[in-house]
Structure 1
Amino acid sequence: MIEVERKFLVVSDAFKADAIRVETMQQGFLSTDPERTVRVRVLDDSGKLTIKGASSADGTSRFEWERELPLTEAQRLLDLCLPGMISKQRYIIPVGAHTFEVDVFSGDNQGLIIAEVELSAADEDFPKPQWLGEEVTGDAKYYNSQLAVKPYSKWLDTSFL
């Protein structure tokens, strides 16, 4: 129940050629408290409820509990979420023994593309494809819960700070 992952910005759309699947998702948050984030996700024709604990100091690991939900229940829970929905397409890309999930955001987070790779340990070696850019692991502004509160489109708007 401990998730270990690293996040990177993506510098080109070359990843799309290697994707084995693309998923469309919408997600909202019942809680964006960094100590206990509660997320509802509608993913194509299914739903998920996820609870995440606080991140480790370096941002690579945290508690994660997730359960499948019927689509209708997930859609109803989205109605209860805090303002700030996240919409994105997720590209699933195998690279060696690892799988990268590349999120292409839309809506208020249009223009942001983030790749995540789940690992068995924070210091695990993994292949880094050419399209990976700067690592943003542990930078809270790139957490989906924070993108719901302060979307990418508002980062340059100083009145939003």
Structure 2
Amino acid sequence: MIEIERKFLVTSDAFIAEANQSYPIKQGFLNTDPGRTVRIRIKGTKAFITVKGKGNTSGTTRFEWEKPIEIVEAESLLLLCEPGTIEKVRYEIAIANHIFEVDVFKGDNIGLILAEIELTNENETFHKPNWLGQEVTGDPKYYNSQLARHPFLKW
């Protein structure tokens, strides 16, 4: 239930040709408090409720608990969420022993493309593809919960 991940800006759409799969994501937040974010997500044909805790100093590690729920439940819960919905298309790209998840945002966050990689420890090394840009791990403005409240187009 501990998530270790790093997040990067993406500099080109070259990742699309490398993608194994893609699917739409719609999500909202029942709570955006950094100490206990509660997210409702519809990911393709599946739905989830997720609770995330506050990140460590570097922003790479934090508590995450996620459970599948029925899509009809997620749709009802999305109606109860705080203002601001995240819509994006996620691409999964396998590189060596890792999967990069690249999110191409839509709506009020159009123009933003972020890549995340989950690691087994904070010091784990990984191959950085040429489309990977500046690291933004730990920068709260790139958290989905904050993008819902303060979208990219309003920066």
Structure-2-length-normalised TM-score: 0.99
Within a 5 Å distance, the mapping from 1:29-108 to structure 2 comes to 29-108=29-108
CA distance in 1, matches of 2:115, 2:43: 18
Q: What secondary structure, in the 3-state scheme, does the structure 1 residue paired with 2:56 have?
A: coil
Count matched residues: 155
Q: What secondary structure, in the 3-state scheme, does the structure 1 residue paired with 2:9 have?
A: strand
CA distance in 2, matches of 1:104, 1:67: 24
Q: What secondary structure, in the 3-state scheme, does the structure 1 residue paired with 2:47 have?
A: strand
1:142: Cα distance to partner?
0.1
- Counterpart in the other structure of 1:158: none
Q: What secondary structure, in the 3-state scheme, does the structure 2 residue paired with 1:122 have?
A: coil
- Counterpart in the other structure of 1:159: none
Structure 1 residue runs without a partner (length 5+): 156-161
- Counterpart in the other structure of 1:144: 144
Q: What secondary structure, in the 3-state scheme, does the structure 2 residue paired with 1:102 have?
A: strand
CA distance in 1, matches of 2:119, 2:44: 25
- Counterpart in the other structure of 2:26: 26
When the two chains are superposed, the root-mean-square deviation of aligned CA atoms in Å is 0.4
Structure 2 residue runs without a partner (length 5+): none
CA distance in 2, matches of 1:25, 1:101: 12
1:44: Cα distance to partner?
1.6
Q: What secondary structure, in the 3-state scheme, does the structure 2 residue paired with 1:111 have?
A: coil
Question: Percentage identity across aligned positions?
Answer: 58
- Counterpart in the other structure of 1:122: 122
CA distance in 2, matches of 1:6, 1:25: 20
Ranges of 4+ aligned residues in structure 1 off by more than 3 Å: none
CA distance in 2, matches of 1:55, 1:23: 27
Structure-1-length-normalised TM-score: 0.96
CA distance in 1, matches of 2:42, 2:127: 30
CA distance in 2, matches of 1:148, 1:57: 23
1:151: Cα distance to partner?
0.3
